[in-house]
Structures are given as structure tokens and as C-alpha cells.
Structure 1
Amino acid sequence: MRRAQARDIDEIVTILQTAKGYLKEQGIDQWQADYPNKESVQADLDAHRGFVLMVDEDVAGYAAAFEGEDPLYTAITEGAWVHSGHEHDYASLHRVAMSDKFRGQRLSARFMTSLISYFYAQGARDFRIDTHPGNLPMQKVIANNGFEKRGVVHMEEADHISTARWAYQLIIKD
């Protein structure tokens, strides 16, 4: 795993586009509009929050991850975040996607573990992620990494349509 670089953008966009197709095949309406796109990837890179999973010389996966309060997670319904004493000190994982060339190799779980390990080394102990209620493969990856469902958050995608996402949290105690 490494930070994404400008030279990775085309591969990342291809990964996101194929992930959109995969979600559509599963009947999941997540990412079915213009988001995520090249502009959102560029914004991730500009903010130093884009990460790629490398297999040999290939970009096998992409995720955006960052520390600090995430505006997308300030409002949670049907549950609550467990507060670790630092309500604004957590790492959020977003836009996790794998290349279809590597689908089925269980690299998503390893990628997520790498992201958690990286941010743990930076001092994070509270991790948050969300996914579509119908995205069973991602729910499995999330659960297998120790996350617990905490409630529902709402994401805005196309035309400011708010869609429910299941919110998960992992707290690692020292």
C-alpha cells in the first residue's frame, strides 16, 4: 500500500468505473451517478487522502482515508457512535474499491487492514466506514476487520439525493 499519486489517476478511475458496474449488476444503487469520478479522486490526491493497493506494478485497489472529524459522519440515526474520549479524533475510510482483475482474491480485507495499521501507527484508535445496506461483500470485509454496525448515515450522491448507508466503527484500545 502507498499513497496514490497523479500517475495513478487513470487506473483509479477505471477501478471506480468497474466497481460502479459491479454494484449495478448486484442491483445496488450506490455510485450509480457521476460520483465518484476523476474530480473526486483528484480532490483526494490534493488533500493527501488517496491510497492505492499495489500488486507488483498494478494498482489493485483504491481508498480515500483521512483523520479528523468527517462531516459525513456527524449525523447518525438508528444508533450512535461509541465515543472513545476523542469525538473528533478518528480515521474515516471511503471509496474503497478493487480492480476487477483482482476480484475474488480477498485483497479488500488486506487493503483495509493495511489502512487501519497505517492510521493506527499515526495514533488513530477510532475508525469509521459506511456502506450500502445491499453491499454484502463490503459488509463482510468490514465485519471481518472487526468493525461493528453503529447506525445509519446519509450520503448525498446525484442531484443531492440522500441515500442511507450503514455506519460501522472499530475502536482499538491500547
Structure 2
Amino acid sequence: MFRGATRSDLPEILKIYARAREAMAAAGNPAQWGASFPPEELLKEDIDSNRLFVYLVNGELEAVFAFILGPDPTYAVIEDGQWLNDTLPYGTIHRLASAGKRKGVATDVITWCLEHCESLRADTHADNKAMQHILEETGFIRCGVIHVADGSPRFAYQRMSLTMPLEH
């Protein structure tokens, strides 16, 4: 079951993000989220703006992610490529983290997001091989490089919904 996150979910959400940071560091990606990303204040802002979601299975919180409909300013400029489709409204997945207890959680999240938009975008750090693999396995195409607010580069991906043909 998917639902909007609430402030009462924060203790569990913070544990999931801490586990994700540890897993990322152990996999050779210590820089993307460092020791404290995402900060609690950002998560509260996401909750209050109805853009932070949780995925529950049998009442257990299995994943947390931001899902944002509409233009993302960091995606306005793409280098070394182009978006598959830059005219359709899109949604973006940010800050996806799993509790690490089940396989297929990221695929379930992506499927759910695609039910709510025709075009879905995501980005990840060059060292985040696990997320790159998940995105590519679920039909995302690497489109180029974008830069996040602090100026650091991220691989940018896009996936069209199942009902929309891919455009190249």
C-alpha cells in the first residue's frame, strides 16, 4: 500500500534513510548522501507539501520516497544528451530508500509512480551503481547529465509510462 507520509512516520523514515546511507557507503557511494542527507527539515517540508510517500507491505514500512509532479528546476538544463520527451508533463522520483528487507521494492515504487504520470524522471550519482541498475532494469533510459543545487553532476534518466510509446 502506498500513502502519503506523516510526521508520525518520521522516526521510521529516519531509520530507513540511515540504513540507506550505510548501504550506499558500503557499496562505494559515500558521497551522494554523505552522513546526514536528507535532513529532517527537508523531510518535514516534503511531508507538509504532500510529496513524501511511504510504501507499506503487511503494515511494515518498506520504502520512502519523494514523488513530485511538475517541472523540476534541476532538470531544466541537461548536458551530454537530451530528454526522451521534453513536452509532456512529468513526475520525478527523489530520495528513494528501502528498508532493505524485501526484493523488488524499488520496482514497486516505480510502477506506482508511473500510474500517476505519463513521463517519469530520476537522477543519481555516478557512484550509485545499484540505483543505475534498478533504473535501467525498469525501463529508464539514461538521457544525459544534470546538476543538483550544489552544482554536482547526476546521471539523468527518463521513462515513459507503459501507455506511452518511447520516443527517441
TM-score (norm: length of structure 2): 0.88
Give the letter for the 1:109 counterpart. Answer: T
SS at match of 1:142: helix
Q: Percent identity?
A: 30
Moved more, 43-52 or 25-34: 25-34
SS at match of 2:152: strand
Q: Is residue 164 of structure 1 aligned with residue 153 of structure 2?
A: yes
**Residue from 118, 125, 133 that aligns with 1:125:** 118
Aligned twin of 1:37: 39
Moved more, 46-55 or 130-139: 130-139
SS at match of 1:42: helix
Give the letter for the 2:24 counterpart. Answer: L
Aligned structure 1 segments of 4 or more residues deviating by more than 6 angstroms: none
Aligned twin of 2:110: 112
Give the letter for the 1:75 counterpart. Answer: V
SS at match of 1:79: coil
Aligned twin of 2:91: 91
Contact 2:113 2:120 in 1 (8 A): no
SS at match of 2:93: strand
Task: List gaps (5 residues or longer) in structure 1.
Answer: none
Task: List gaps (5 residues or longer) in structure 2.
Answer: none
Note the C-alpha offset of 1:83.
2.7
Size of the aligned set, in residue pairs, is: 161
- Distance of 1:85 and 1:136 partners within structure 2: 29
TM-score (norm: length of structure 1): 0.85
